Amino acid sequence: MAHFASFLRHLCILSLFTLFTINPALSTDLGNEFSILSFDSDHFRGDYAPPSPPPSPPEPQPPSLSCSEGLNATGSFDTICELNSSLSLENDVYIHGNGSFYILPGVNVSCPHLGCSIVVNISGDFSLGSNSVIIAGLVSVNASNVSLFTGSVINVTGMAGAPPPMTSGTPGGEQGAGGGHGGRGASCVTDNKKLPDDIWGGDPYAWSSLEEPKSYGSKGGSTSKEVKYGGEGGGRIWLEMRNSIVVGGSVLADGGDGGIKGGGGSGGSIYIKGLRMTGRGMISAIGGNGFAGGGGGRISINVFSRRDEPEIFSHGGRSLGCPENAGAAGTYYDAVPRRLIVSNHNLSTRTDTLLLEFPKLPLWTNVDIQDHAKALVPLFWSRVQVRGQIRLSCGAVLSFGLQHFASSEFELMAEELLMSDSIVKIFGALRMFVKMHLMWNSKMLIEGGVDALVATSLLEATNLMVLRESSVIHSTANLGVHGQGFLNLTGPGDVIEAKHLVLSLFFSINVGPGSFLRGPLDRSSSNFTTPQLNCELPNCPVELLHPPEDCNMNSTLTFTLQICRVEDVIVEGIITGSVIHFHWVRDVVVHSSGVITASGLGCTGGLGRGRFFVNGLGSGGGHGGKGGDGFYDGSFIEGGVSYGNADLPCELGSGSGNDSLAGATAGGGIIVMGSLERSLSSFTLAGSLRADGETFGENFGEKAGRTISNIGPGGGSGGTILLFVQTLALGDSSTISTVGGHGSPSGGGGGGGGRIHFHWSDIPVGDAYLPIASVRGNINTGGGFGRGNGRAGQNGTITGRACPRGLYGIFCEECPLGTFKNVSGSARALCHACPSFQLPHRAIYVTVRGGVTETPCPYKCVSDRYHMPNCYTAVEELVYTFGGPWLFCLILLGLLVLLALVLSVARMKYVTADELPAAVPARRGSRIDHSFPFLESLNEVLETNRNEESQSHVHRMYFMGPNTFSEPWHLPHSPPEQITEIVYEDAFNRFVDEINGLAAYQWWEGSVYSILSILAYPLAWCWLQSRRKQKLQQLREFVRSEYDHSCLRSCRSRALYEGIKVAATTDLMLAYVDFFLGGDEKRAGLPPRLHQRFPMSIIFGGDGSYMAPFSLQSDNILTSLMSQSVPPTIWYRLVAGLNAQLRLVRHGHLKLTFSHVTSWLETHAKPTLGAFGIHVDLAWFQPTASGYCHFGIVVYAMEVESLPSELDGQGAFFPPEHQSRMPRNHWENQIEHLRLIDLWISQKKFSGGILHTKGLRTLKEKKAICYPFSFILYNAKPIGHQDLVGLVISILLLGDFSLVLLTLLQLYSISLLSLFLVLFILPLGLLFPFPAGISALFSHGARRSAGLARLYALWNLTSLINVAVAFICGLIHYTTHSNKKHSNFQSWTFSMDESEWWVLPCGLVLCKLVQSRLIDCLVANQEIQDHSLYSNDPELFWQS
């Protein structure tokens, strides 16, 4: 019924308005200009529109003038008529014909009478020559083509006839106002009772015909009743072409000037129609200048094609009496694009151009209001609808409705609304529907009025709405802004504000830095624009928790600012409101400069209002916390009470309670993000989110030069921040605050803190859990400070939704490590400590996604090297699988013994009895006693009948050097004197060069050896031996088949490639060349007998190292030679005993160990050999440049009677059969003996020296880098018990391998890097001893078994480096992790990270050291099976 009554009231007002506009006599003052403002506003509340003119009368059709007689021109209108002289007309002229009409240059045609018409209607062309002029009131040309050449003018300025009847374009009165037509005429009159916009001159008219304007302009008003000073209106110009028009001149229909005493006339009408238009002339229908400027006229151009763009003007005339208020702009209508342009040519004005009803079919395309034009849509209800753009620019103003009657409703529909430095004013309500709304330094001001029917405006921009450069959308009523695209407030000064503001349906809203969204209006003093808040409601408004889904503007709801159904909201500016609600929003991001605030916008009163004394001083308001007590004159007044529900707060903060007094404080407002049904997906805050209570200012204002007293109320309480969110991220500088305001300085109490609640919409649990909050900023609900003696307010509350099992706290975080929670709730106390007895050693509790909900609590081992569930290392798992360390050791030991027994049995089966060394009886007639083991002579070949070879032997020449890559074998160049008679010296030197070159090694062979020595020395030793063997084979092949023996004198030897042979010891360290006679030499004394060879040097093979001990090799030649003086059995026994002693000589300890050899020679060898006239001494031979020398023995015999004569080398020794009868007292003088021997050796050119006791003291030894290992690995005496030694070695070998595996497991438990280091420093040295030991134990033959055993010992010693690396890795790991071990762990363990980490490495070292000694015993047992070789009793030695 209320709506129907309002409609009837509006209908009555419209009828009354129509009656007055039709009958002007009903006006109250016929002498004044017509104005709707003359009616009382209480009786006139309807629409206003200027009266529409009646249809124009039909054009007059007088008889056509002739070309020659009527115009004094030449030609005919049916062909060509040329006017070549000026013509002044007194009456209207009508010209008709089928030809063309040309007005030649410089010709003037004028009809100087108001309203005089010149009408040309021809079938041909019309042209107006250069500088030609047509002056009349009406100029109408209808031709095929029209040409207005440069300088030509069609001028109807100030020549208007009578305006249309029933119009009020000419103002009345004596104000000197301008005439109206396309726009209102200006008025310079001021009236304090009226608004400036309500004062104007002549009214506009002919809106309905603006597409084809035919009206004259109106005359301007006068400042005198007697004299009409006003300028005349502009005339009419109608140019209609069937083809084209050239506008090179001017087409003028301006209003006439009124001067200082009269108003300017309004512009006339111009209509141009054709297919094409060219030229850059001018088309003008501007208002005339005067005391008040006239309104602009109307121009319409209907031309399909334009090549050039002429200047077109339709602005109002200048006002001399009020320059800031020119006449209103006229209209320019471009018919082809259907575009309306209202431009005032940058002339400022307060006078409107009326825009009445817009066409509905077809729609206009564009409407441009520009250059300070001021347009008005004055109807009660109107729809402004275009198909394209509505563009306002350069100071333009577009108004809807009348300011006094803000009850209108308007619709604006377009594709785009573009505003630049312009203003849109709406008095009433606006429904705007555009796709794009762009504002640049512009304003849209909506005055809603008091009518509830028009209290809500709706702005809808479907695709984009952008505000830039301090653009403002302001509404004093309700405002809804909708869209489906983007809303962007780009920077400082951009504002959207309203009493109630709803932003909805956008994809994204961006509030840029310095921009504002505000609802309600800022500090409004009007009760009409201040929203009514529900301050006294004890219950929460239902729309805060369950808002409506439609997002429509509803002023009855609690919200003052709502953002609804928006995907993303980005806040870099400020959002302000009393009740701010984000509903159905996906993501909200508040940057560091962004603020969302409801501070001080709550209730002045409220449920927790403060109390106050009579003088106005009071306590703080309460909310989440009680308000602080106020203090005055020794008395306290109690603060406001606490109220509301902390678990789901939705109340406004309360104020000081004395809103009637100056300086009253208000509580904080409400900020709600999301709802119970629609929560925010994410909220990211780097700025501020505030609902603080208002603080009383110390000097907050001055009135009439007087400062308000500091005595005032307490602070307001904090408001409510209610967040329905899924995830939350608070930056370092972010703040969420509902703190109370501070009290007045003279004793006001502080406001209580507000309430903050986080209502998590969906808390994932279990494996789906993700942290829902990242909080690094501040959350503050503190109470405000009391000033003076006033007390501070109590703190507010911060709560969160009850967390599911496993989570706790406001932000539902996972319970702390080592705790579990099996009930719902948020208290920290609900997270109980996990039972400690369920946590294994070396284990730590681990976080579980979603928290721990039950016991036992999940844990993990402190390192990946430990294994669940007991966090044992791989070794410990193995140990404890078999019952613990001690039981495991017993089982392992038993298993090792069992396996060793199996290996021993297998070895005994594999190594057959005939392969084991055994005593073999000597054969009769044999010169070799085969009962001796193989080491009794290093030659096991049975004696053959090679007497011819030994009988032809001349000399044995030893190679110098140890046959290494750095010092290979080489022969001296000078031939020894023993062979000088059988060789050519030069050829011999060439032979030496060739054989020395062949004996040298390639560089890469030494490089391979160096690399292998670093990586794995046993492999380097094998490589060296293989190269030595190959080198010996090359030397033998060279001498046997390649060398031509050219150095020998014997032709037979050269022909048969005989006479030279190369051989070497079994250790391949000593080689020698034997020279033989060819049989065709005819020299006496060859071959020499034994006594002729004395002193004879016999060099040891080997170098005294473990792998190559010293040894004396006695081959057939040497045995045959020695048999000339010594029986073979004696010689073989001597060689075997000497080799047994040489085994004990150690490189690096030569002084000590050689002394035992010299002692043995003195006690065992010399007495027995002396009986045969033979004497032996230890000596050194053939020193090289590097200091290397060979060791061996010197064998010589000396006759007592002839010793001095023999020193010169010419005598002979006694034959062997007489040597036993030589007296022994000859050698009793030892010193004399040594002196004579040295002299003898020097005369024999013997290269070397005797190693007697004195010589040993001077012996120099070089300590190699492997010298320390000689204390571990060295040759020893045999101990017997071969099978037992083999069994023990088998046990140790298996134990060693087991310890290696356990150590590797430990290292793997430490880290893969440690395992890698131990395995490859030296590479695989830790694993090779086991296969090497198995190979040695299961090898065939004693000699082969001894050699492999030595290689096994070498691998075993090399592996100590790997063990040392393991020890270092364990030590480093222990020192870095010792602080992490458990104090109650088992006292004995195989763990490398406990205090017993050294057990396995040390056990491995001990096992390897014991193996080394047993291997030495094994080798000695295999090489020396006759223990009497080491007998200290010479008799026992020689009898065995």
Q: Count of alpha carbons within 13 Å of 117, Cβ hemisphere only? A: 18
The two three-digit tokens of residue 261, written as one number:
């005493």
Torsion angle, CA of 1403/1405/1411/1416, rounded to 10 degrees?
A: -150
CB 311 within 8 A of CB 281: yes
With beta carbons less than 8 A apart as the criterion, state whether 928 and 940 touch. no
Contacts of 837 (CB under 8 A, 6+ apart): none
H/E stretch holding 939 = none
Q: Which tens digits make up the pLDDT trace of 980-1017?
A: 888 999 999 999 999 999 999 999 999 999 998 888 88
Q: What is the pLDDT of residue 613?
A: 80
* Residue whose structure tokens are 């009886």: 921
Looking at residue 943, what is its pLDDT?
38
Indicate the residue type of 61.
Answer: Q
Nearest to 169 by CA among 216, 226, 119, 105: 216
DSSP-H helix ranges across 510-565: 542-545
Q: Which residue has the tokens 């500090």?
A: 523
H or E element that contains 473 = strand 472-475
CA separation for the pair 343, 358 (Å, rounded): 18
Dihedral sign computed on CA atoms, order 521, 527, 529, 533: positive
Within 812-955, residue ranges assigned H as helices are 874-881, 885-910, 947-951
3 state SS for 179-191: CCCCCCCCCCCCC
Half-sphere exposure of 76 (CA within 13 A, CB side): 3
**237 pairs with which residues across the strands?**
139, 270
Q: Nearest to residue 1230, comparing CAs of 1135, 1308, 1317, 1166? A: 1166
Q: Do residues 270 and 281 make contact, with C-beta atoms less than 8 angstroms apart?
A: no
For residue 654, what are its two tokens?
């309360």
Is omega for the bond preceding 1322 within 30 degrees of 0, making it cis? yes
DSSP structure string for 1166-1211: HHHHHTTT-EEEEEEE---TTS--EEEEEEE---TTTHHHHTTT-S
**pLDDT given for residue 1223 in this prediction:** 38
Phi, psi torsion values for 1290, nearest 5 degrees: -60, -45
Contacts of 447 (CB under 8 A, 6+ apart): 403, 406, 425, 426, 427, 428, 476
Confidence (pLDDT) at 217: 94
Preceding amide of 51 cis, omega within 30: no
**What tokens appear for 111 in the block?**
């009809």
Residue recorded with tokens 């909310």:
623
Q: What local confidence, expressed as pLDDT, does residue 557 receive?
A: 82
Asked, as a colleague might, if the bond just before 323 is cis with ω within 30 of 0, I would say: no
Residue 917, pLDDT score: 44
Let me know how many helices (H) and strands (E) the chain has, helices first: 24, 69
Rounded to an integer, what distance in angstroms lies between the CA atom of residue 1121 and that of residue 1138? 18
In terms of Cα–Cα distance, which of 44, 42, 36 is closest to 14? 44
With contact defined as beta carbons under 8 Å apart, do 368 and 343 qualify?
yes
Place of tokens 């209001």: 369
Q: What pLDDT shows up at residue 710?
A: 63
pLDDT at 6: 47
SS3 602: coil
Q: Rounded to 5 degrees, what angle do the CA atoms 1252, 1256, 1257 make?
A: 125
**Positions of the chain with pLDDT lower than 70, given as ranges:** 1-61, 452-453, 523-531, 698-710, 910-949, 1198-1247, 1263-1267, 1378-1395, 1440
pLDDT attached to residue 1235: 61
**Gap between the Cα atoms of 283 and 270, Å rounded:** 8
Closest to 1258 (Cα-Cα) out of 1193, 1207, 1194, 1189: 1189
Residues 6+ apart with CB under 8 A from 348: 323, 324, 325, 326, 372, 395
pLDDT of residue 612: 82
- pLDDT the model gives residue 898: 84
Residue with tokens 């004497």: 1175
Name the residue type at position 1160.
W
Q: Which two tokens stand for residue 394?
A: 């350069």
DSSP state of 970: B
CA 1434-1437-1440 angle, to 5 degrees, is 145
Reported as half-sphere exposure (CB side, CA atoms, 13 A), residue 233 has a value of: 37
Q: Residue 75: name the closest of 110, 102, 96 by CA.
A: 102
Structure tokens at 382: 């109107």
Using CA atoms of 1379, 1382, 1384, 1389 in order, give the dihedral in degrees to the nearest 10. -100
**3-class state of residue 312 by DSSP:** strand
Long-range CB contacts (< 8 A, 24+ apart) of 466-470? Answer: 466/437, 466/438, 466/439, 466/490, 467/439, 467/494, 467/495, 467/496, 467/515, 468/438, 468/439, 468/440, 468/441, 468/494, 469/440, 469/441, 469/493, 469/494, 470/441, 470/494
Is the CB of residue 503 less than 8 Å from the CB of residue 524?
A: no
For the chain, helix, strand, coil in percent to 5 are 25, 25, 50
Phi, psi of 244 (to 5 degrees): -130, 165
Degrees, nearest 5: CA angle 279-283-285: 175
Max Cα-Cα span within the chain: 190
Return the pLDDT at 178. 95
